[in-house]
Amino acid sequence: MITIYPDFYEKFSCKADSCQHSCCMGWEIDIDARTAKRYQTMSDALGAEIRRNIFCHDGIWQFRLDEKARCPFLRTDGLCQLIRNAGDSILCDICANHPRFFVTAADFELAGMGLSCEKSCELLLADLSTLTFHEENSDRAIDLSTLLGNMGIELPAEELVYLSGMTKDDAEFVLDCLGKTVPIDDAWTRQLGELAAMTDQLVPLTENELVLFTRIYQYIVYRALEHLETFGLAAILSYAQLNADFISLLYQLTGQLDESVRRWSEQIEYSVENVRCLMKLV
């Protein structure tokens, strides 16, 4: 199976203590079986401390988060106590791999970076050139149209460009769809209310912003290709347009494009339930 990854994939490095939205808090942290077994057999003081801070739920080992939903090994300076004490090799798979993802579509393994990560958003939005992809062990860059062609999918170029010019009715439809998803927190529900109050004040995107939104749109298409067999290409394209439109609305509210992308990803990209909900609605 050929592995594909986007142009910014190999540029990733964790922001660690400079990250404002640490992936070590606010999320359940599952421990893979191999690492859980290792933690159970560690005979040193660190092993004992780890075992005091993990538990098994429905056959899955997890870290025991504190009252603020922080990993017990997230230090106050934003660094990981486990890495500081024992190096990267001590990490469970999810901690070692995040925010990377690996999914399959046709005969390809599609690799990428989840956009709930600040650094991933920064890398996606740091370039005004066309989003390109690489095959593992190859320096050749291909665009999304070529990648889809390699998968047996032929699309006119205009289908892979973000469609701007959202109307008030369009915005209300977008918000109605997003309102049907399961909210990640109370702030999400409040934001939807704030967005609903500004649908008659939409401002056109600039030329550079349109380029970035095409990168966002194409990356959402790429990320959603794992659902090709279940929902079909038309649903994936509509899903990508819907979510890029929502990011545009959130951007107009906050003025921060990278944070708007990250916030959307928290709510949608990392929830299988919410992805499927929107796929069915479009």
Q: pLDDT for 156-173, tens place per residue?
A: 888 999 999 999 999 999
- Sign of the torsion formed by the C-alpha atoms of 205, 209, 210 and 212: negative
**Which residues make Cβ contacts (< 8 Å) with residue 243, sequence separation at least 6?**
220, 264, 268, 278
Q: Are residues 173 and 276 in the same domain?
A: yes
Residue 10 is predicted with a pLDDT of 92
- Out of 72, 97, 122, pick the residue that ends a domain: 97
Q: Domain range spanning residue 233? A: 159-281
Of 52, 77, 97, which residue is a domain's last? 97
Range in 47-51, 139-143, 265-269 the model is least confident about: 139-143
Residue identified by tokens 């550079």 is 208
**Given a cut of 90, is residue 27 above it in pLDDT?**
no
Residue 106 near residue 46, CB atoms below 8 Å = no
Domain ends where: 97, 117, 143? 97
| pLDDT over threshold 90, residue 179 | yes
Give yes or no: residues 58 and 171 share one domain.
no
166 in any annotated domain: yes
Per-residue pLDDT at 139:
83
49 belongs to a structural domain: yes
- The position carrying tokens 């889809």 is 148
What is the rounded average pLDDT of the residues 111-134?
Answer: 96
Q: Does residue 154 form part of some domain? A: no
Q: Could you give the 3-state DSSP secondary structure of residue 56?
A: strand
First to last CA, the chain: 31
Distance CA 265, CA 251 (A): 13
Burial (CB < 10 A; 0-12, 13-18, 19+), residue 71, is: buried
170: in domain: yes
Q: What are 57's two structure tokens?
A: 């739920």
- The 8-class DSSP code of residue 184 comes to S
Number of domains observed in the structure of the chain: 2
Is 211 a member of any domain?
yes
What single-letter DSSP state applies at residue 255?
S
Mean pLDDT value across residues 214-224: 98
- Residue 202 in domain: yes
Are residue 275 and residue 177 in the same domain, yes or no?
yes
Query: What is the C-alpha to C-alpha distance for residues 219 and 225, in angstroms, rounded to an integer?
Result: 10
Mean pLDDT, rounded, of the chain: 94
The answer to whether position 102 is within a domain reads no
Q: Please, are residues 25 and 70 in contact by the beta-carbon 8 Å criterion?
A: yes
Q: Is the pLDDT of residue 110 over 90?
A: yes
Predicted pLDDT of residue 84:
93
Distance CA 195, CA 176 (A): 11
- With residue 102 as reference, give the H or E element that holds it: strand 100-105
- Does 253 map to a domain? yes
Report the pLDDT value the prediction gives residue 188, as an integer from 0 to 100: 94
